[in-house]
Amino acid sequence: MEKAKYTIGVTALNAIDNPGPGVPVIRALQEAKSFDVKIIGLSYEALEPGIYMHDIVDKSYTIPYPSTGTHHLMNRLREIHDIEKLDVIIPNFDAELFSFIKLEPDLKKMGIHLFMPTIEQYEERQKVNLPEFGEKYNIKVPKSEAIFSLDKMPELEEDFKWPILVKGKFYEASVAHNFEQVNIAFNRISSKWGLPIIIQEFIHGTEFNVTGLGDGKGNTIAAVPIRKQYITDSGKGWGGIAVTDKKLLEITDRFISSTKWRGGFELELMKDNKGDFYMMEINPRIPAWIYLAVGVGQNIPEALVNLALGNEVKPYTKYDAGKMFVRYSWDMIVDLKEFEKISTTGEL
């Protein structure tokens, strides 16, 4: 029986020291057993490497930055859809998720399907709302406070012990041991990602992540936990190993069942010296290390596409612990004409 073929748009084709999930998501989709794919790359910058990976991306188009507003994004997606007849879009950048969530009903009318959290789910797991989230769903979270000005810091010294974490609302975090380091981190991160900045209790321990998929009805479709083996200076995992930990999976199941989470996610947790897990962040999208989940037996992007299209999806019940990923980079040689074309025409 011939498999269906879907045209799927994928964002986050960048591959800097904090790489986007786009390329590993595409690799996962190409290994899907239930369908074939045509991949449409959706890029914000002409230097996103995925644009030039012609063995995995069939065609690429530039799209406007989220800051320009949903109207401009919708118009561009309509232009691309008229040409490519997109079946599904998988957004992978934190900063673009809100725009795509808002546009989901209109895109569905056009025949473009997404499978993303609701606005309510997206908002309540925001870093600034994490304390309330933990209390509501009975999940341990570190003490944190959102600030809009460094004038607030002297008041917080009584509530926090050094060191502390200084975190951006979308990306980046720095460990600070004194007010001078807080000042440097505050200015650097806020200049890139805006306000507020989150001051968070520093939990000493071992870092774990879980990627998974909820069906929007409280059921866990997939869940793969890892322990980070190698972390870059910017705090990003460059290597990790799939682990078996009942507590991690119980926390994940509780997160999905309590929130009725819809779509992919990444939980960032810290295990302290007492063996307790603290939820540090909840990222409402697929992480850049998603290909490890595929490698251990759970093709989360494939399942997400099937959920988006209303196809039957059976939950994954096992994975191969003990396998690890090690990230690497390599240089592509690209004809300048290709760069000029995507820069001037917005497609390649």
Phi/psi at 146 (nearest 5 deg)? -90, 130
Residue 233 has pLDDT above 80, yes or no: no
Residue 235 has pLDDT above 70, yes or no: no
Mean pLDDT of 197-221: 95
Residues 151, 99 share a domain? no
Return the percent helix, strand and coil in the chain, to nearest 5.
Answer: 35, 25, 40
Residues 197, 209 share a domain? no
Residue 74 included in any domain: yes
Residue 18 has pLDDT above 80, yes or no: no
From 182, 201, 220, the end of a domain falls on 201
Residues 284, 196 share a domain? no
Residue 96 included in any domain: yes
What's the mean pLDDT when you consider all of the chain? 93
Residue 130 included in any domain: no
Residues 38, 8 share a domain? yes
Residues 66, 93 share a domain? yes
**Nearest to 220, CA basis, from 210, 230, 229, 235:** 210
Q: What is the pLDDT of residue 86?
A: 98
With 0-12 / 13-18 / 19 or more C-beta atoms within 10 angstroms meaning exposed / middle / buried, residue 239 is middle
Q: Which two tokens stand for residue 180?
A: 């001078």
Residues 168, 75 share a domain? no
Residue 137 included in any domain: no
Residues 182, 77 share a domain? no
Q: What is the pLDDT of residue 234?
A: 62
Handedness of CA 131, 134, 135, 136 (dihedral sign): positive
With 0-12 / 13-18 / 19 or more C-beta atoms within 10 angstroms meaning exposed / middle / buried, residue 33 is exposed
Q: How many domains does the chain have?
A: 3
Q: What is the pLDDT of residue 232?
A: 65
Residues 148, 81 share a domain? no
Residues 191, 94 share a domain? no
Residue 237 has pLDDT above 70, yes or no: no
Contacts of 160 (CB under 8 A, 6+ apart): 143, 145, 199, 201
Residue 121 included in any domain: no
CB 299 within 8 A of CB 162: no
3-class DSSP state of 13: coil
Residue 208 included in any domain: yes
Mean pLDDT of 206-230: 95
Residue 131 included in any domain: no
Contacts of 142 (CB under 8 A, 6+ apart): 165, 200, 201, 202, 203, 270, 278, 280
Residue 233 has what DSSP assignment?
T
Contacts of 239 (CB under 8 A, 6+ apart): 228, 229, 230, 324, 325, 326, 327
Q: What is the pLDDT of residue 271?
A: 95
Residue 8 has pLDDT above 90, yes or no: yes
Q: Domain containing 315 — which CATH number?
A: 3.30.470.20
- Give the model confidence (pLDDT) of 133-182 as tens digits: 999 999 999 999 989 998 888 888 778 889 999 998 877 888 999 989 99
Q: Domain containing 186 — which CATH number?
A: 3.30.1490.20
From 151, 167, 201, the end of a domain falls on 201
Q: Domain containing 71 — which CATH number?
A: 3.40.50.20
Write out the residue range of the structural domain in which residue 40 sits.
4-115+330-345
Q: What is the pLDDT of residue 173?
A: 86
pTM of the model: 0.92
Residue 270 included in any domain: yes
**Nearest to 91, CA basis, from 193, 20, 173, 160:** 20
CB 166 within 8 A of CB 199: yes
Residues 182, 71 share a domain? no
Residues 210, 183 share a domain? no
Residues 150, 210 share a domain? no
- Give the model confidence (pLDDT) of 276-306 as tens digits: 999 999 999 999 999 999 999 999 999 999 9
Residue 114 has pLDDT above 90, yes or no: yes
